[in-house]
Structure 1
């Protein structure tokens, strides 16, 4: 016989209330501030019914990867773990989708079912070992045998997900659909973890290291700041700008940190690395000392470790001690939350007298680039130059809008030519083609009062086109802008050159369509706008963003228009 639930008159006489696992999980998610739960059937069916009853919206996706991408963006926008679930047979697909969340430092809580212990190692239908699948893409993973274990393991997993840097975590629940955890009981009250957001802790650096860093920075006249995804997570844009002003240092960012300071600010020189317009790489390469702030120094942000130059002096701030000494010898390492560390560093620097020469060089480089690219931003060419699309999107994006970009050319176009302000949010794929559209749906779930715009290439959109049905069914309103050039534009010219006198062979590999995605949207019951002339872009974007449902803006662009290419040091070519 079950005891009364918490809050009844008999609680104190009869002891703590006992609830089923599905009740505990649903109430804990609700009390922790979760608004949506992303999944592919069949998993946690009792929990799903209870979630709907208590006011958490279940979002059924068409693939496990799409569900993960939704949870990924939800986590990035809300700071709380995006929650995603799949049954045992979908576990491998779900794990594969976590790669982007891992690389993008996103808090995600993955819940999967597994067949009970008595079925393991006996060729059970559709069952493979789960632990090896999740090992590369999670910080924490555990099996949950029954509801008695769930409260402790739920808290531990959530805490791990929002630690710095945030990462995905995995709980593997007993039962094909997690049913043994759902139907067993626990006396624990629901968890309320909504205050545990990423980054949960903000430690400061060792004062001696702060003093050493200040001395190093003041010893060089040619200092540049490179702010990365960890700096964006720390929300330290104002502090970075204050530091740059004190040092008279130009600021470059990683792609994931674009927009943390105004891209129009006189100290800003753009995204550095492989997805860079020319100025940032030139400026960072010319520096004597680089201050990395929450930046991972991987091959993309350093243009394959050529920018900055090998041997350049480096001071590095990071909340993760494993990021030091990965790629460059670090003169001074400051372990701590970037915002807390910069605050202490500003106090140590005071108001030094600085030479503006290097900053003037950087600003001249940036001004020359802006003058060079300006004609393309106003191009009236048909088919449309994506640079013009970037300019129109800059004007159309609301002051608090969220821009979600796919990988490859989508990241390069938006990361070099769409101007952003700190109140806006830029989310980019960490590498998985097709990530952006489902991610935009998750972002909208996390921020229902903000306009969300997705930039996807047509090649990327084919991956998760069925999620148009999800957007329609669940009433999730985003503006999906399709850079539709009927092919994979990033690799097109080089492959065409490789094909030599056989252009048809290149077309068979990298060209597809043409597809009218506006017409496809209408087949899903959504609004679709086809844009073939640049003069129609502004009106189409305004109409799409004014609506209260997902609208596809299908923009016919020129595959031969090249995105900005990164500057590469001559000696390294």
Structure 2
């Protein structure tokens, strides 16, 4: 039997699972990093300026590649890494976090930097466990990949003994065993029973105004083609959650848009008018349903989800399928010819009218030549200017509202990644996405408030030669808060109240240039398209700093 260090086991297993990048703040697993350099130099070690940034990069990597992203930090930074795991936990993204942990020899002796941070990972992981003996590296790493990828994907945390995970220096007889099936999402596709599929199809056939609401589970299952084919076969319109926006192109005749709180109003109107809603791969949370008002509770509903616990949680169901989205939609498509569909011409005409009315209402702002620039114009330019295989990574807050409402995915090959609620996520996630897909154009859309969170990671992108493009809606403020503060001040904000949501007017193009990136400042709408083209062809990190109107706020959702 061959003796090897725990570090060699970890390095070999990361390679065996197809990991290509490790995002970390040192010092953690130093011996493992050395083993990666010696034996698996193709695995890139991306050193970040913050633990949260490392988690977000691993998240973006996972969402684009379908493989678990790996992030690591020493014990003093573990709580920062836990904070970063909130995002992939809420979004259902497979991230494996490795941190240092306390040593039994020094526990409770006031060791430098010692805090029992293991409990902090419980709320933001599917598995939170420790490795306290080098022999346990193989089975615990296998378990981590298995848990992260099965069912609804999500983060896993392994705390490795030693403040820097020094357990990896110890010798072990354990073999680095890999289970390739669990190297990507989804490793297992539970299929529905035909009897239950037929019950779902019968309900859809009996409905006059059905709608499908597709969520992130459709995206992680890779079920977009099956979703579109089924919608076309049954002649049913499709709305999506923000997390499922790229499961059907926004330009498709059956696409109603993003529903919920960060939504396109015609999508909410379609879902609210439906007499049967078929939820697929969505946990029917508050953002997708605008706090359960779209559709109102009591609307006839069907739900398809890989997690049985999600079924019927927020809406009483007429039928359900506990199954992988791709497997379920494919089986529905196969059995659909046995269920005659009614004439839905009137319903589809109504949907078309709602879509057309929305486009007519906002055509002027989408093409506006106003200075300062309107954010809707940025969304329109991104719809028109992104390559057919681009990845668009979008922050939360106003950035998420502008893109959900006014941007369209135009091809099935484009990807749309959005924050599940953490401002500042997008830039770091974009670095991870571009690391996972170096041959695809990756564009980040954020505001100045979002970019400030992890501004230093521009240096990381430059140092690692990660050629993503970042478009900044720079209105020198967090003006999503404008309405709320105006209300708090009796309906009209004061000069002092504006101090609570405004900043200095900073030129991020100059900041980017100082860090070694390409910086392009845009002050007029006509400059947007050439700036985007220049940034996409730059071959290095680029920041397109678009100076916009601070008084323009996104339309409120309808219900």
TM-score category (smaller protein): over 0.9
State whether residues 250 and 257 of structure 2, in contact with CA within 8 Å, keep that contact through their aligned partners in structure 1. Answer: yes
Is this contact kept in 1: 2:12–2:176, CA < 8 A? no
Residue in structure 1 matching 2:546, options 555, 559, 568: 555
1:533 partnered with 2:528: no
**Equivalent in the alignment of 2:363:** 374
CA drift of 1:192 comes to 6.1
Q: Residue 10 of structure 1 corresponds to which residue in structure 2? A: none
Match 1:345 to one of 313, 318, 332: 332
User: Which of 314, 323, 327 pairs up with 2:314?
Assistant: 327
Deviates more, 1:178-187 or 1:231-240: 178-187
Residue 313 of structure 1: aligned partner? 300
Say whether 1:290 aligns with 2:277.
yes
Instruction: Compare 348-357 and 222-231 and name the one that shifted more.
Output: 348-357
Query: Which residue pairs with 2:473 in the alignment?
Result: 483
Structure 1 residue 359, shift from structure 2 partner: 1.6
Task: Give SS of 1:259's match.
Answer: helix
State the alpha-carbon separation in 2 of the partners of residues 338 and 533 from structure 1. Answer: 44
* Cα distance in 1 between the residues matched to 2:5 and 2:404: 48
Matches within 5 A, 1:74-113: 74-113=61-100
Counterpart of 2:33 in structure 1 is 48
Q: Greater shift after overlay, 114-123 or 440-449?
A: 114-123
Measured in 1, the distance between the counterparts of 2:202 and 2:487 equals 51
- 2:388 corresponds in structure 1 to 399
Query: Could you tell me how far apart the structure 2 residues matched to 1:255 and 1:468 are?
Result: 26
User: Deviation of residue 118 (structure 1)?
Assistant: 2.1
| C-alpha separation in 1, matches of 2:456 and 2:234 | 50
How many Å separate the matches in 2 of 1:29 and 1:467? 25
Q: Which residue of 2 aligns with 1:33?
A: 18
- Tell me the residue number matched to 1:11: none
Shift of 1:520: 0.5
Q: CA deviation at 1:498?
A: 3.4
- Asked if structure 1 preserves the Cα contact closer than 8 Å seen for 2:485 and 2:493, the reply is no
Distance change in 2, residues 1:194/1:339 (3 Å):
closer
* Runs of at least 5 residues in structure 2 that lack an aligned partner in the other structure: none
Residue 376 of structure 2 corresponds to 387
Q: What is the TM-score normalised by the length of structure 1?
A: 0.94
Deviation at 1:71, TM superposition (A): 0.4
TM superposition shift of 1:296: 1.0
Q: Give the aligned length.
A: 553
SS at match of 1:510: coil
Post-superposition Cα deviations, 1:110-161, rounded to whole Å, max 9, x if no partner, equal: 0011121122233332222233111111111221112211001110111111
Structure 1: gaps spanning 5 or more residues: 1-15, 569-573
Alignment match, 1:454: 444
**Residues 1:510 and 2:501 aligned together:** yes
Does structure 1 conserve the Cα–Cα contact (< 8 Å) formed by 2:242 and 2:418?
yes
Q: 1:502 to 1:362 in 2, by over 3 A?
A: closer
The 5 A counterparts of 1:118-267 are 118-189=105-176, 191=178, 193=180, 196-267=183-254
1:429 maps to what in 2? 419
Q: Distance in 1 between matches of 2:416 and 2:318?
A: 31
CA contact (8 A) 1:21 1:186 kept: no
Q: Kindly indicate whether the alpha-carbon contact (under 8 Å) linking 2:138 and 2:174 is maintained by their aligned counterparts in 1.
A: no
Aligned alpha-carbon RMSD (Å): 1.4
- Mapped contact 1:144–1:181 kept (Cα < 8 A): no
1:488 and 1:261 map into 2 onto residues whose CA distance is: 31
Structure 1 residues 317 and 194: alpha-carbon distance in aligned structure 2, compared to 1, 3 A threshold: closer
Q: Is the 8 A contact 1:146 1:181 kept in 2?
A: no
| 1:502–1:445 Cα change, 3 Å | closer
Alpha-carbon distance in 1 for matches of 2:229, 2:434 = 32
- 8 Å CA contact retained: 2:535, 2:542: yes
SS of the residue 2:135 aligns to = coil
Cα pair 1:499 1:505 within 8 Å, conserved:
no
CA displacement 1:174-214 (0-9 Å, x = unmatched): 11111123333234145363763111111111222112112
Matches of 1:195 and 1:298 in 2, distance apart? 27
Conservation of the 8 A alpha-carbon contact between 2:260 and 2:290:
yes
Partner in structure 1 of residue 537 of structure 2: 546
Counterparts of 2:93 and 2:406, CA distance in 1: 25
CA deviation digits over 1:294-330, x for unaligned, max 9?
1111111111111112211111110001101211101
| Map of 2:323 onto structure 1 | 336
Q: Is the 8 A contact 2:227 2:247 kept in 1?
A: no
Deviation at 1:18, TM superposition (A): 2.1
Question: SS at the partner of 1:509?
Answer: coil
Q: What is the CA deviation profile of residues 221-256 of structure 1, one whole-angstrom value per residue up to 9, with x for unaligned ones? A: 111100011111111122112222233211000001
1:361 corresponds to which of 350, 355, 366: 350
Instruction: Work out the CA distance in 1 between the residues paired with 2:493 and 2:224.
Output: 50
Q: Residue 35 of structure 1: CA displacement? A: 1.3
Q: Is the 8 A contact 1:434 1:464 kept in 2?
A: yes
Residue 502 of structure 1: how far off its partner (Å): 5.4
Question: Secondary structure of the equivalent of 1:225?
Answer: strand
